[in-house]
Amino acid sequence: MMQQQPLAVGRTAARLAAIQSLYEMELSDKAADIVLDDVARRRNMPSGQGDEFGSPPPETDMAFCAELVRGVSENTEAIDDVIGRSMSEGLTPEKLEKVLRIILRVGAYEIGQRRDIDPPVTISEFVKLTERFYADKEPGLVNGLLDRIARDLRAHDMA
């Protein structure tokens, strides 16, 4: 009998693939479906054989990745409004570095739309993912902003 990968591993990989996909979409102006097809193709390649965005691991939950990518790409303005409300006065999502902005968008979308995932789990996952890209104050910023977003959107889950 084949042993299944823990759900968290597949979702963590999906979150990373979603961040990379949305970044690729911003750089290339490709549609979500085209980028997701590319991700699925790279996922089936031997490690190291993908393009500059790399090959996602085989345990990547592609349905979850697609949900995040489509959800963020279809609701960017509303998500940026939610992020903006959680930021200090004078700051806007547009002023953030591109990867950081995408991380926050995916995290905010997940907090707002995936009621089956506890906000502290989402926040922790996105802080860890931020640490893959940044070593300075950015993980703390992501933690603080996503916590504020969770308290705004899902206060009953944050008691």
Paired tokens of 47? 């490690």
pLDDT value at position 26?
94
Mean pLDDT of the chain: 87
* pLDDT tens, position by position, 10-43: 899 999 999 999 999 999 999 999 999 988 887 7
DSSP-assigned states of every residue in 84-120: HHHSPTT--GGGS-HHHHHHHHHHHHHHHH-TTS-HH
Which amino acid is present at 85?
A: R
pLDDT value at position 50?
44
What is the four-CA torsion angle of 30, 125, 119, 73, rounded to 10 degrees? 0
Q: Where are the chain's structural domains? A: 1-74, 75-154
**Per CATH, which fold does 75-154 belong to?**
N-utilizing Substance Protein B Homolog; Chain A (1.10.940)
